[in-house]
């Protein structure tokens, strides 16, 4: 029986994770759940999964939950509580499903305890990839990707030698604006940008998919997970999202992982690896797939993707600045304060504003995150 600490249980990945956990009551139990403020969903989850502790970051909402709970469960609150539960709760696997930079600090605590990290929160690796990689080694902890592309690559690499890999090919749906001209980007509405063709996800990653920043973040994530340079990581548009990513080897052979777009599969694999558990998820009906198509990405149209490759090359604090600028710009777009086309513009301005620090320590990363947020809020 593996005990799970689920960071961000009320989000899209969080709910899908509990859908997986529910199927295997003899294999998994939930020891901790966390939410930012959505206590209505969290309360139902507590009643079903009986965690020992929960975190509600918002203090008022935490008080509200405490007074309405009928079953025994510790309720913690405040920003530091995520780190606290990661540092001192009883669990085997930390499933990182919070969105954004807030996932970094608790992930560090879990690694320091040598836990398995099942990581959906890609921002952690984007901002502090090198630090996390070294920490995993130092504490002998393992990190298994949940992001579907990285789960696909992880599966394609099983049983292979790293030196025999030529390149990683990360597939991308292209989002809702694959056929929209760049000139129209300034008039795209929030509703249009939230309308993803293939995946149903949280708002932030859905906007990231529309700008293709999501793919940029995934290229950076792939570097730290698998140890390849940017010239060996390609992005390929594949609108059907059936091939989740591929690996090309030195003899020209290509391995791919396929399936319907459903996050329950990569979540399950990150929890059960190296085993595979039988499940009832829909089986891919190949004859019914009319076609699988592929295109090269347009880097001039998708500036966020270009910027992500640029910071991957530059390294240092630039990925952290890119990420923080993107988080703030996306949240401002969602509040209709700025245009869709301002997202990449603000990120560029932030990258110009802050001088790069190479080989930053973790304190510098937290500082650059804070400074960049303030700057992009002021634009
Ligand atoms: P959601 O927005 O749906 O959920 C985010 C979760 O994090 C919620 O539980 C939310 O709580 C909580 N949260 C939000 N802000 C904070 C904060 N400041 N402090 C603590 N908790 C917070 O996001 P997704 O589930 O879509 O994505 C989660 C992560 O997984 C992201 O990093 C994303 O890139 C990655 N990912 C997602 C995929 C998907 O299919 N959705 C696919 C691959 C990767 P509350 O509900 O209370 O607001
Ligand atoms: Mg992905």
Distance CA 150, CA 120 (A): 10
Give the Cβ contact number of residue 83 at 10 Å.
17
Element spanning 364, H or E: helix 362-378
pLDDT at 374 (0 to 100): 98
Give me the sheet containing 165-172, strands edge to edge: 233-237, 165-172, 243-249, 254-258
pLDDT at 48 (0 to 100): 98
Q: Whose CA is nearest to atom 48 of ligand 1?
A: 36
Residue 104, phi then psi, degrees to nearest 5? -65, -55
- Number of continuous H segments (helices) and E segments (strands) in the chain: 15, 11
- Render 23-57 in DSSP notation, one character per residue: T-TTTEEEEEEEESS-HHHHHHHHHHH--SEEEES
Distance CA 241, CA 235 (A): 13
Q: Which atom of ligand 1 is nearest to the CA of 79?
A: 19
Residue ranges of the chain assigned to CATH 3.40.50.720:
2-145
For residue 119, list its beta bridge partners. 96, 145
* One CATH from 3.40.50.720, 3.40.190.10, 1.10.10.10, 3.40.50.1470 for 2-145: 3.40.50.720
Q: Which residue from 97, 150, 152, 266 has its CB within 8 A of the most atoms of ligand 1, so it is best to mutate?
A: 97
Q: Which residue has the tokens 């099942």?
A: 118
Q: Which of 35, 74, 38, 75 is nearest to 57 (CA)?
A: 35
Q: Which residue from 202, 203, 260, 330 has its CB within 8 A of the most atoms of ligand 1, so it is best to mutate?
A: 202
Going residue by residue through the chain, which has 379 residues, state the pLDDT in tens, using 9 for 90 and above.
999 999 999 999 999 999 999 999 999 999 999 999 999 999 999 999 999 999 999 999 999 999 999 999 999 999 999 999 999 999 999 999 999 999 999 999 999 999 999 999 999 999 999 999 999 999 999 999 999 999 999 999 999 999 999 999 999 999 999 999 999 999 999 999 999 888 889 999 999 999 999 999 999 999 999 999 999 999 999 999 999 999 999 999 999 999 999 999 999 999 999 999 999 999 999 999 989 999 999 999 999 999 999 999 999 999 999 999 999 999 999 999 999 999 999 999 999 999 999 999 999 999 999 999 999 999 9
Q: Which of 133, 144, 215, 141 is nearest to 174 (CA)?
A: 215
Q: Which of 266, 376, 305, 322 is nearest to 101 (CA)?
A: 322
Element spanning 371, H or E: helix 362-378
Dihedral angle at the C-alpha atoms of 67, 72, 73, 78, nearest 10 degrees? 30
Q: Which residues line ligand 1 (CB under 6 A)?
A: 8-14, 35-38, 57, 97-99, 102, 120-123, 147, 199, 201-205, 263
pLDDT at 199 (0 to 100): 85
For residue 256, list its beta bridge partners. 246
Q: Which residue from 10, 13, 104 has its CB within 8 A of the most atoms of ligand 1, so it is best to mutate?
A: 13
Residues written for the chain: 379
């Amino acid at each position: 029986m593996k005990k799970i600490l689920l960071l961000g249980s009320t989000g899209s990945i969080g709910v899908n994770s509990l859908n997986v956990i529910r199927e295997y009551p003899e294999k998994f139990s939930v020891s901790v759940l966390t939410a930012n403020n959505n206590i209505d969903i969290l309360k139902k989850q507590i009643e079903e999964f009986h965690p020992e502790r929960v975190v509600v970051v918002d203090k008022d909402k935490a008080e509200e939950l405490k007074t309405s709970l009928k079953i025994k469960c510790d309720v913690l609150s405040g920003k530091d509580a995520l780190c606290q539960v990661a540092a001192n709760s009883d669990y085997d696997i930390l499933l990182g499903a919070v969105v954004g930079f807030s996932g970094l600090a608790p992930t560090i605590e879990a690694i320091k305890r040598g836990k398995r990290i099942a990581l959906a929160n890609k921002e952690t690796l984007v901002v502090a990839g090198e630090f996390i990689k070294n920490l995993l080694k130092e504490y002998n902890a393992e990190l298994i990707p949940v992001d579907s592309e990285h789960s696909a690559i992880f599966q394609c690499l099983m049983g292979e030698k790293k030196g025999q890999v030529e390149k990683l090919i990360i597939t991308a749906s292209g989002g809702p604006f694959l056929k929209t001209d760049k000139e129209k980007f300034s008039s795209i509405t929030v509703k249009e940008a939230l309308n993803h063709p293939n995946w149903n996800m949280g708002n932030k990653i859905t906007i990231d998919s529309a700008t293709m920043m999501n793919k940029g973040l995934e290229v950076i994530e792939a570097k730290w997970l698998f140890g390849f340079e940017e010239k060996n990581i390609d992005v390929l548009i594949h609108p059907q999202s059936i091939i989740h990513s591929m690996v090309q080897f030195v003899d020209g052979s290509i391995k791919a992982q396929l399936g319907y777009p459903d996050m329950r599969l990569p979540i399950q694999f990150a929890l059960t690896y190296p085993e595979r558990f039988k499940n009832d998820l829909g089986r891919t009906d190949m004859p019914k797939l009319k076609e699988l198509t592929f295109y090269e990405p347009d880097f001039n149209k998708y500036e966020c993707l270009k910027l992500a490759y640029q910071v991957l090359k530059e390294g240092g604090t630039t990925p952290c600045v890119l990420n923080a600028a993107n988080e703030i710009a996306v949240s401002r777009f969602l509040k209709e304060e700025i245009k869709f086309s301002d997202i990449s513009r603000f990120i560029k301005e932030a990258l110009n504003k802050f001088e790069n620090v190479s080989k930053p320590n973790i304190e510098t990363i937290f500082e650059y995150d804070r400074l960049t947020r303030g700057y992009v809020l002021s634009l």
